[in-house]
Amino acid sequence: MKKRFLSLVLTLAILLAFVPAATTQTEAVMTVFNPITGWDMMEKLGLGYTFANTTEARPWPDSNWFLDDTETCWGQPKIEEQHFQSVAQKGFDSYRLCVSWTPHMDTNYQISEVWMDRIQQLADWALDAGLNVVLNTHHEEELYWLIRDGEYEKAKTHLTALWKQVAERFKDYPETLVFEIMNEPMLKEYYDSPEDIWIHDADGQVNKVLRDTVNKLNKDALEVIRKSGGNNARRVVMLCVPGAHPDALPYMEVPDDDPYIMLSTFGYEGFLNKGTLPLVIEWLNKGVGFVNKEDKVGAYEYPATVENMMLHFGRLAELGIPSFYFSVSNNADEGDFFIRHTGEWINQPLLDALFKAHEAFAPYKPPYTSAPPAFVYELGGTFKDMEYTIWNPPADKLAAAEKLVIEIEESIGWCKFAQGDPWMEWEISDDRVTVESRRIMFDIHGLEGNTLGFLTWNNGDAAKIKRAYLAAWDNRQSLSNFAKTRTYEDNFPDLISSTAQTWVPLAYEYGLMRGGTDGTFGSKDNITIEQVLVVASRVHMIYNTGEAESISSMDGWINYARENGIIDGRFIGRYGEDATRAEVAYMMGSILEDKDMKSKNPQTLTAADVPQTHAYYGDIKRFYEAGMVSGRTSGDFDPDAPIIREECAVIFVRVIDEAKRR
């Protein structure tokens, strides 16, 4: 499998018009339909491609283009069958067929047969080439204006009429054809205003009218598709997130009885940053399939460099989230790869980086949550083969708890927690688990009463549960969580330098570093990326929960570091390499809150060899000025040089002990 790119697309208004029917419908693709869930479709979609500014292009309002020529009105040639074959041969898995339908509809919302036939022809060519196809509605400005204005009924008429026709035409197509209900309905187009008003009100909140209307329209269109017959009852359908913006994810309404759905959002300007990643993981942990669409490392998002390619798409690959490359400009400087006019593939270094990033692609597995703190109240009971149970913990224990923790012994399909009595009247909160040996945590802070319930389901069978308990989180984000857990007794004979003799014993006693199997510490040896991320992960756990979780494999440590923002896509495939001084500052500097990033003697980073253009400039500056690390005696920081183990001992101790900072 592989992955895809995304890109910012100019959304242009157009006059509503109609192209009369003229051509004969192309022959439908008839194959056996093998239903696949939205969750499993993530792996199947892999890495995708889009020939942009073509089937979703719309004439400018004051142009003289005929609607028959919309494919070329933004300067691109028409797509030919060999273009799809070239994309498939290059190694991409899927194609996103972006379509603007409204310019080809009459006033009764009837789509031109000419246009419908052309879209079907393109879908057939892509499927024949062995690509999965995502067919959507794109740049439907007339519809989006209705959504912005809260004209729900008119928007419903428009959208359901559109999808009724599209669903009918493609109802007998294989499961490798996916529908995407809408692209990115927003409050106002970016070219109308520089403000961030795609989905946000002036106070920064996600607009309620927008999110409510989009949720209702998703439901309406999904119902039309499901009732259209053929294979559409079990075809994967992507639900639209308002503005395709991750900030709207908490407001998404997703049917809990339809496994053939996915959510789709955009990746503009670093989709999986520390702010949006938890929102994405929350949905993934519920077992809802996810797609990152239309991102393009290039002029619109961020500079087209190998580093940015690995950073952004590497993180997506590691999470098992499919993404599409949006080929928009035929311009090598903007990160494009394919020249449609000539059929030439360009920008080979960036293309190689894209596929290298995608090598990390693997089906997503919900992560272990952080370990619970000291306060644990066992709920008791027999949990083996349990379908459901009711607990009545003491009111004082329930009031002190913030989490209900369920440790799963074997994989299950559904977990449901509820508060209330009787069962049928409970408010039920869902969390879906699909892998073995996982811990599920429900937020119960502020619940009233003392009746808790828990339901499990695994294809009709009861789940196997190890234990259930209440937990508080009193020890979150505190340096006071760190304590010496071991005593140093001249353990390492190779501590020669004064630096090693002073700091290595402290790092050992705090449980941050250990020696080698030969009894030495290797104080002058370079430290590897994987060794640093393990220490950083331990520090993160203790800082946030008061204790370190036991993880037995390096893959487990890598997953923890990735999911908690300690590493990013730049580290893919490099875990065994020597870490640089800059990379240590990045990994260790991401753990503490600002309140704990204080120095006894604040200093300003002045090293000439760390310009603001350096990839880790911000991380080094924050880490340096917090007193965690020093520069060389020459005045340089030497950011790209390897760092040795005794130097890291100094850094690790300074991170957890304010008194030891410069």
CA nearest 295: which of 88, 47, 78?
47
- What Cα–Cα distance (Å) separates residue 122 from each residue in 95, 96, 97, 173? 10, 11, 8, 13
Contact status, residue 199 vs residue 240, Cβ threshold 8 Å: no
Tokens of 113: 């047969």
Q: What SS3 state is found at 51?
A: strand
Contact status, residue 311 vs residue 277, Cβ threshold 8 Å: no
Q: What is the pLDDT of residues 499-528, one digit of tens each?
A: 999 999 999 999 999 888 888 999 999 999
pLDDT number for residue 473: 62
Cα separation of 584 and 587, whole Å? 5
Question: What is the Cβ-side half-sphere exposure of residue 257, based on CA atoms within 13 angstroms?
Answer: 4
Residue 624 has pLDDT above 70, yes or no: yes
pLDDT number for residue 191: 41
The answer to which of 56-70, 214-228, 592-606, 626-640 has the lowest mean pLDDT is: 56-70
Contact status, residue 261 vs residue 239, Cβ threshold 8 Å: yes
Please state the separation of Cα 66 from the chain's center in Å: 40
Residue 233 has pLDDT above 70, yes or no: yes
H helix intervals, 65-151: 81-90, 113-128, 141-148
Percentage with pLDDT > 70 across the chain = 75
pLDDT number for residue 656: 94
When the pLDDT of each residue in the chain is averaged and rounded to a whole number, the result is: 80
pLDDT number for residue 112: 94
Contact status, residue 15 vs residue 100, Cβ threshold 8 Å: no
Cα separation of 443 and 473, whole Å? 11
Q: What is the pLDDT of residues 271-284, one digit of tens each?
A: 555 457 667 877 88
| Strand stretches in 501-583, DSSP E | none
Cα separation of 655 and 527, whole Å? 17
pLDDT number for residue 167: 98
The conformation of residue 50, written as its DSSP 8-state character, comes to E
Cα separation of 46 and 320, whole Å? 8
Q: Which residue has the higher pLDDT, 601 or 183?
A: 183
pLDDT number for residue 263: 95
SS3 annotation, 331-387: CHHHCCCEECCCCEECCHHHHHHHHHHHCCCCCCCCCCCCCCCCCEEECCCCCCCEC
| Range ranked top by mean pLDDT from 32-36, 187-191, 359-363 | 32-36
Percentage with pLDDT > 90 across the chain = 37
Tokens of 621: 């500056």
pLDDT number for residue 127: 97
Give the list of residues 6+ apart from residue 409 with CB closer than 8 angstroms, or none.
437, 464, 465, 466
What φ, ψ does residue 329 adopt, rounded to 5°? -125, -15
Residue 172 has pLDDT above 80, yes or no: yes
pLDDT number for residue 95: 97
Please list, residue by residue across 155-184, b when 16 or more beta carbons sit within 10 angstroms of its beta carbon and e when fewer do.
bbebbbbbbbbbbbbbbbbbbbbbbbbbbb
pLDDT number for residue 426: 45
Confidence bin at 42 (pLDDT 50/70/90): very high
> Residue 247 burial (CB < 10 Å; 0-12/13-18/19+)?
buried
The answer to which of 155-164, 256-265, 404-413 has the lowest mean pLDDT is: 404-413
Tokens of 176: 């490798």
Confidence bin at 569 (pLDDT 50/70/90): confident
pLDDT number for residue 292: 85
Cα separation of 101 and 19, whole Å? 11
CA angle 468, 38, 92 (to 5 degrees): 125
Q: Give the H/E segment covering residue 49.
A: strand 47-51
pLDDT number for residue 422: 43
Residue 653 has pLDDT above 80, yes or no: yes
pLDDT number for residue 123: 98
Tokens of 332: 């090598």
Residue 3 has pLDDT above 50, yes or no: no
pLDDT number for residue 430: 45
pLDDT number for residue 556: 83
Q: Give the H/E segment covering residue 407.
A: strand 403-408
Residue 334 has pLDDT above 80, yes or no: no
Confidence bin at 474 (pLDDT 50/70/90): low
Average pLDDT over residues 559-574: 82
Q: What is the pLDDT of residues 365-420, one digit of tens each?
A: 665 444 445 577 887 765 555 556 677 788 888 877 877 777 766 555 555 666 65
Please state the separation of Cα 433 from the chain's center in Å: 18
pLDDT number for residue 164: 98
Reported pTM: 0.64
Strand partners for 237: 179, 261
Q: Which residue has the higher pLDDT, 396 or 304?
A: 396
Q: What is the pLDDT of residues 177-206, one digit of tens each?
A: 999 999 988 886 544 444 446 788 877 788
pLDDT number for residue 517: 84
Q: Give the H/E segment covering residue 21.
A: none
Cα separation of 174 and 171, whole Å? 9
DSSP assignments along 193-210, one per residue: -SSS-SSB-TTSPBPHHH
Please state the separation of Cα 435 from the chain's center in Å: 19
Q: What SS3 state is found at 162?
A: helix
Tokens of 524: 């002058």
Please list, residue by residue across 186-219, b when 16 or more beta carbons sit within 10 angstroms of its beta carbon and e when fewer do.
bbebeeeeeeebbbbeeeeebbeebbebbbebbb
CA angle 210, 211, 216 (to 5 degrees): 100
> Residue 349 burial (CB < 10 Å; 0-12/13-18/19+)?
exposed
How many residues can be counted in the chain?
662
